[in-house]
Amino acid sequence: MSAGSALQRNKPIVDYAPEELLIVTVARLLEGIRHVAVGTASPIPGSAALLAQALAGGDMRVSILGSRESQVWSDTGVELFDCAGQGRIDAFFLGGGQIDGQANINLVGVGDYPHQKVRWAGSFGSAYLYFVVPRVILFREEHTRRVFVPKVDFISAPGTSAPNVYRPGGPWALVTGLCLFGFDRDKRRFRLESVHPGHTLEEVRDNTGFDFDIPDRVAETPAPAPGTLALIRDRVAVEVADAYPHFAKRVFGIGRETEAAI
Amino acid sequence: MSAGSALQRNKPIVDYAPEELLIVTVARLLEGIRHVAVGTASPIPGSAALLAQALAGGDMRVSILGSRESQVWSDTGVELFDCAGQGRIDAFFLGGGQIDGQANINLVGVGDYPHQKVRWAGSFGSAYLYFVVPRVILFREEHTRRVFVPKVDFISAPGTSAPNVYRPGGPWALVTGLCLFGFDRDKRRFRLESVHPGHTLEEVRDNTGFDFDIPDRVAETPAPAPGTLALIRDRVAVEVADAYPHFAKRVFGIGRETEAAI
Amino acid sequence: MTSQIIGSDLDDLVRRIPNGAKLAIPKTDCAGAMAATRALIRRKAQNLHLIVVPTSGLQADLLIGAGCVETVEGSGITMGEYGQAPCFGRFVREGRIKLKDSTCPAVYAGLQAAEKGIPFMPMRGLIGSDLAAYRDDYTIMSNPFADDDPIMAVRAIQPDVALFHTPLADRHGNVWVGRHKPLMLLAHASKETLATVEEVREDNLLDDPVYGPATIPSIYITAVAQAARGAWPLGLTGHYREDSEHFAEYMRLAATEGGMVDYLDRHVRRVGVAAE
Amino acid sequence: MTSQIIGSDLDDLVRRIPNGAKLAIPKTDCAGAMAATRALIRRKAQNLHLIVVPTSGLQADLLIGAGCVETVEGSGITMGEYGQAPCFGRFVREGRIKLKDSTCPAVYAGLQAAEKGIPFMPMRGLIGSDLAAYRDDYTIMSNPFADDDPIMAVRAIQPDVALFHTPLADRHGNVWVGRHKPLMLLAHASKETLATVEEVREDNLLDDPVYGPATIPSIYITAVAQAARGAWPLGLTGHYREDSEHFAEYMRLAATEGGMVDYLDRHVRRVGVAAE
């Protein structure tokens, strides 16, 4: 697949997968981070973290939960949360079955709780990590009004808190298949930062159920530079295949034959 | 040494060391206990626990802290206290540089805190374990007015608490070189249970700085039965030499040449 | 605090899980005791209050689909890359289970409170989440060392029984857990702990300087049963892989009520299944 | 969070402990970093707030006797079977150190609060003890889930630096602690952690399924230095015994101020002592 390539202006024509654009976009949000942790179900954020680490010359710690080759913790449970509570995790990723304009996220379900018509897995660590990790990057590839709603049906974790609530962390940005939003914690609103190549502001507006701020001039999300793409394909793809073998096989065409860790 | 033997009336004359009388007396207080923990500096309580275990046919758990041969916990720090907090430790031993008539104990020092004229090691776990272990046995061989005072100079751990304070545990008995006291938690007073062979009520009274209840007829602490003594010497002595080598050498004449665990 | 029965009779083991018990099970990747779970379904366990620590997958979904569960407490039920948990979703939609939704560190915090014998643990986060809104065992309190600093108090969680599977135990009832330290927490916090293991060694694991630190002392263990491939169809780190074909079959059958009956007949209720 | 310097220069290591630092050291039987402690005395450390976790012996007494310590926080200083800690006793009597007396589980509770990033931990016991009376970081609060249930709140303890000695680390800065899990707690709770070790391995200890669970990940470790017999004259489990002759000499000399000067000259300040 080579989406985006034909639509880029004033740039060298390089084929890249949409996943690669997202990887590069997310990696850019990790600049200056000392330690980023990534959940098991997050191959694009995971790849982005590994790319950011490669770009930082290795001077960044990446903890991919459930990776069997790079153990970071000596404990498979509590340590991640304690480590975050100590302020030793600078960035983390969260998604959401629903996300609203105040950056509230819903990982529980659609309809009236508890017996909802659609039930998802549950809130996992969101209601804690969203409070204590300084740079939480929301990532959701599907950009539709089904996901980006005016108000979530269930707040797994609130986007903002009252001033007296201890909250060193919170939403930093939202990356979707269409665009990149920043989050303004004071205004409690998203702000469109850039629209991905091949997509338009109108498309973003049509598919977003909440209001957001729009700058006077809407930028285009920069396409991956050739050197960055090479880094992804030569290095990140191999590393990411450990934690996300299916993803690595589908996107990069490499990997193992089995998904089960031994 | 064979103190006490000549002074027993109506009993078979069996030589025993004063430590052996104390071991037997303390062991009797552990009847029915499922799990007793013993601190590192407590050879007589440690021996008593091992004797009680032997008498219970092994159906009692004895955890001697710092013993290198019988590891009980997987952690050298927190686990003892958590285990006690969970209600999994039924008996424990505490001592005191000073102990008063309300069973308050002082492990800190003599005089005005903080810059006391005599300073002991400190309170260790007493201020916690005294609250949560149901049967805390106070053990102090030296029976003098220097130790058994009207009021301790510093309360490391109080003997009693207000009714609204969570306190499943507390003092159960006090064993000294002269006698055995029980503690009445409702009356908040010690009660003399028995005087060791060779000693008298007057001796106990003269050497105790606090008031205590005295029954109409003061019993004599039963001397060790020959079978019990054999158990101590054949079995307990060997087991106790692991955790308390100096004690085992001095009292039982057995043990290793070194005190340092490797 | 009773002595450990070490055998291989899973029916005997799961008899120690009464109907209505608060049953705690670990994360899927900590290796659930799946063989014991099937035995529990065969003995027609009812009204379990299932505490998933802090999440689960097939094990919880299976117990739910088999009708053993009244309440699910925890922070997620997911089949991971296979998709949403089918029975969990169906039972929620149909109002057939009660929910105590949580967030992972709050599950740990509740167990840690029980581990310490304290009535609650303070915890950052959670304030303003609907999780807290629906739980009367989470309440906002004040940090006593600061002005105007609200903090969540999470009430202690003491399971009646913990059940899990690990690679190794010894004859004394000590159970090695390796990196899966939440299993230690579970054993400390629970009234009783049942473990199945691949292998039982003769020597004392606690006395081993390398194995000892990752071993649950027998004082916390009610009973151990040997169960070869006891985590199947889950994987067990260092031993065997997740059976992805079986997962695919589960996803296909468990998608409907009728299919689930078929699955249970085929893989749980039939005598002699998977060497049980 | 800085990278780990792995070398064998103890003077370089202890330069990371500034005057006035809150310095946390483990129990004697967890093996204190004695060689590093001597280096710290040689660099004339001042005004340390020493947190003993939860007790100490020779290591604390030596630092006190050498005049490095302003405050001692913890639940006991003892020379064990050798008797009372001589310098500690003398400095207390003479009013030359400040005291923050505690009880073992309260020291752990304070560190656990820091480990979790919470401002305090609730704890049973302590109420009515004079320990609480003299500490403004212990306060009685109400259990929010019960009526009239007072419980002690113990404020978080976050040491500036933790210092300890273990048998083993690896090139990546991961440090194996074995059964001495309070060292993990110390590393989690402290801003910086310095470790000395007997041996540095090439392979990654964290990736080892047996060593990994008892290994502190490098993320918590500021620097590691190799120091053969680094716990001497303390013992190190599985490696060497406590030097009881040296303890006897210490007890003899440290009993007086003058004798202590002699001890320090002989065993700490003299260049080339004990292969340092």
Mean pLDDT of the residues in chain C: 94
Phi, psi (deg, nearest 5) at residue B30? -100, 5
- Is pLDDT above 70 for B69? no
Place of tokens 């003993």: D52
Distance of CA B85 to the CA centre of its chain: 21
Distance CA(A18)–CA(D45), nearest Å, equals 58
Query: Subunits with at least 3 CB pairs below 8 A relative to chain B?
Result: C, D
Sign of CA dihedral C50, C53, C59, C64: positive
Mean pLDDT of the residues in chain B: 90
Q: What is the mean pLDDT of residues C224-228?
A: 96
Sign of CA dihedral A203, A204, A210, A215: negative
Whole-number pLDDT of residue B182:
98
Query: Subunits with at least 3 CB pairs below 8 A relative to chain A?
Result: C, D
Distance CA(D37)–CA(D41), nearest Å, equals 6
- Is pLDDT above 70 for B258? no
The chain D residue lying nearest C156, using CA atoms, is D145
Mean pLDDT of the residues in chain A: 90
Whole-number pLDDT of residue A121:
96
pLDDT-derived band at A215, boundaries 50, 70, 90 = very high
Q: Which of residues 52-111 of D touch C (CB under 8 A)?
A: none
Prediction ipTM score = 0.94
The chain C residue lying nearest B61, using CA atoms, is C219
Residue C61 · residue C259 · CB < 8 Å:
no
Q: What is the mean pLDDT of residues C136-143?
A: 97
Q: Judge: C143–D120 Cβ closer than 8 Å, yes or no.
A: yes
Least confident of A163-172, A237-246, C58-67, D133-142: A237-246
- Is pLDDT above 60 for C239? yes
The crossing angle, in degrees rounded to 10, of helices D104-116 and A78-85 is 80
Which tokens belong to D187? 């590393």
Q: Give the strand pairing for B105-106 and B171-176.
A: unpaired
Distance of CA D237 to the CA centre of its chain: 17
- Is pLDDT above 70 for A4? no
Q: What is the mean pLDDT of residues A123-139?
A: 98
Q: What is the mean pLDDT of residues D143-170?
A: 97
Q: Judge: C178–D209 Cβ closer than 8 Å, yes or no.
A: yes
Whole-number pLDDT of residue D2:
43
The chain D residue lying nearest C116, using CA atoms, is D123
Whole-number pLDDT of residue C81:
83
- All structural domains of chain B: 14-97+125-149+158-252 (3.40.1080.10)
**Separation in Å, CA B54 to CA A232, B60, B227, B231:** 67, 8, 12, 8
CA dihedral A209, A214, A219, A225 (to 10 degrees): -50
Distance CA(D195)–CA(A72), nearest Å, equals 18
HSE (CB half, 13 Å, CA atoms) of A137? Answer: 30
Least confident of A211-220, B251-260, C43-52, D225-234: B251-260
Q: Judge: D101–B85 Cβ closer than 8 Å, yes or no.
A: no
DSSP strand E in B11-162: where? 35-38, 61-64, 91-94, 98-100, 105-106, 109-110, 118-119, 135-140, 148-149
pLDDT in tens, B117-159: 999 999 999 999 999 999 999 999 999 999 999 999 999 999 9
The chain C residue lying nearest D108, using CA atoms, is C116
* Residue C243 DSSP SS3: coil
Residue C111 · residue C102 · CB < 8 Å:
no
Residue D212 · residue D204 · CB < 8 Å:
no
Distance CA(B160)–CA(B103), nearest Å, equals 7
3-state secondary structure A43-106: HHHHHHHHHHHHHCCCCCEEEECCCCCCCCCCCCCHHHHHHHHCCCCCEEEECCCEEECCCCEE
pLDDT-derived band at C121, boundaries 50, 70, 90 = very high
pLDDT in tens, B167-209: 999 999 999 999 999 999 999 999 999 999 999 999 999 999 9
DSSP C4: P
Sign of CA dihedral C107, C109, C112, C116: negative
Preceding omega of D54 cis (within 30 degrees of 0): yes
| Predicted TM-score of the model (pTM) | 0.95
Phi, psi (deg, nearest 5) at residue D258? -65, -40
Residue C97 · residue C64 · CB < 8 Å:
yes
Which tokens belong to D153? 């709140």
Q: Which amino acid is at A232?
A: I
- Closest CB to D115: pick one of A72, A74, A86: A86
Residues of B within 8 A of C118 (CB-CB) are 85
Of the ranges B36-40, C204-208, D112-116, which is most confident? D112-116
CA dihedral D182, D188, D192, D193 (to 10 degrees): 40
Residues of D within 8 A of A81 (CB-CB) are 116
Whole-number pLDDT of residue A77:
87
Q: Give the strand pairing for C120-123 and C138-142.
A: unpaired
pLDDT in tens, D51-78: 999 999 999 999 999 999 999 999 999 9
* Residue A168 DSSP SS3: coil
Q: What is the mean pLDDT of residues A90-113?
A: 97
Distance CA(C127)–CA(C140), nearest Å, equals 8
pLDDT-derived band at A241, boundaries 50, 70, 90 = confident
Distance CA(C240)–CA(C237), nearest Å, equals 7
Which tokens belong to C222? 């009610």
Q: How many CB atoms sit inside 10 A of residue A114's CB?
A: 17
**Disruptive mutation site among B36, B61, B64, B74 for chain C (greatest number of C CBs within 10 Å):** B74
Residue B21 · residue B221 · CB < 8 Å:
yes
- The string of DSSP letters for chain D reads -PPPEEES-HHHHHTTS-TT-EEEEE-GGG---HHHHHHHHHTT--SEEEEEESEESHHHHHHHHTT-EEEEEESEEB-GGG-B-HHHHHHHHTT-SEEEE--HHHHHHHHHHHHHT-SEEEESS-TT-HHHHT-TTEEEEE-TTSSS-EEEEEE----SEEEEEEEEEETTS-EE-TT-THHHHHHHHSSEEEEEEEEEESS-GGGSTTTGGGEE-GGG-SEEEE-TTTTTTS-BTTTB---HHHHHHHHHHHTSHHHHHHHIIIIIISTTGGG-
Distance CA(D48)–CA(D21), nearest Å, equals 5
The crossing angle, in degrees rounded to 10, of helices C104-116 and C182-189 is 50
pLDDT-derived band at D271, boundaries 50, 70, 90 = low
Q: Judge: C103–A125 Cβ closer than 8 Å, yes or no.
A: yes
Residues of B within 8 A of C216 (CB-CB) are 74
Q: If you count them, how many residues does chain A have?
A: 262
Residues of D with CB under 8 A from a CB of A: 1, 114-118, 184, 188-189, 204, 206-207, 212-217, 219-220
Expressed in angstroms, the distance from the first to the final Cα of chain C is 28
Least confident of B154-163, C74-83, C145-154: C74-83
Distance CA(C232)–CA(C236), nearest Å, equals 8
Q: Whose CA is closest to D65, among D276, D257, D206, D270?
A: D257
- Is pLDDT above 60 for A96? yes
Q: Judge: D129–B246 Cβ closer than 8 Å, yes or no.
A: no
Q: How many CB atoms sit inside 10 A of residue B186's CB?
A: 6
Q: What is the mean pLDDT of residues B229-258?
A: 83
Q: Whose CA is closest to A20, among A261, A170, A207, A196?
A: A196
Distance of CA C56 to the CA centre of its chain: 7
- The string of DSSP letters for C174-227 reads -EE-TT-THHHHHHHHSSEEEEEEEEEESS-GGGSTTTGGGEE-GGG-SEEEE-
∠C96-C100-C104 over CA atoms, to 5°? Answer: 135
Distance CA(D188)–CA(B99), nearest Å, equals 38
- Is pLDDT above 50 for A2? no
pLDDT-derived band at A64, boundaries 50, 70, 90 = confident
Q: What is the mean pLDDT of residues C162-183?
A: 95
- Closest CB to A119: pick one of C74, C88, C134: C88
- Is pLDDT above 70 for B256? no
pLDDT-derived band at B74, boundaries 50, 70, 90 = confident
- Is pLDDT above 50 for D276? no
Whole-number pLDDT of residue A94:
97
- Is pLDDT above 90 for C77? yes
DSSP C235: -
Residues of A within 8 A of D203 (CB-CB) are none
> Could you tell me what percent of chain C has a pLDDT over 70?
96
- Is pLDDT above 60 for A251? yes
Phi, psi (deg, nearest 5) at residue B119? -120, 125
Q: What is the mean pLDDT of residues A21-28?
A: 98
- All structural domains of chain C: 10-103+159-269 (3.40.1080.10), 120-155 (no CATH)
Provide the β-strand partners of residue A137.
A93, A173
Q: Judge: D124–C145 Cβ closer than 8 Å, yes or no.
A: no
Q: Judge: B261–D126 Cβ closer than 8 Å, yes or no.
A: no
Q: Which amino acid is at B124?
A: F
Residue D131 · residue B127 · CB < 8 Å:
yes
Whole-number pLDDT of residue A256:
54
Burial code of C23-55, b = ≥16 C-beta within 10 A, e = fewer? bbbbbbbbbbbbbbbbbbbbeebeebbbbbbbb
> Could you tell me what percent of chain A has a pLDDT over 70?
89
Burial code of A227-241, b = ≥16 C-beta within 10 A, e = fewer? ebbebbbeebbebbb
Q: Whose CA is closest to D58, among D276, D196, D244, D208?
A: D244
pLDDT-derived band at A73, boundaries 50, 70, 90 = confident
Q: Which amino acid is at D241?
A: R
pLDDT-derived band at C1, boundaries 50, 70, 90 = very low
Distance CA(A173)–CA(A191), nearest Å, equals 9
Distance CA(A214)–CA(A204), nearest Å, equals 11
Whole-number pLDDT of residue B240:
86
| Interchain touch B–A (≥3 Cβ pairs closer than 8 Å) | no
**Separation in Å, CA C172 to CA A245, C5, D219:** 40, 10, 36
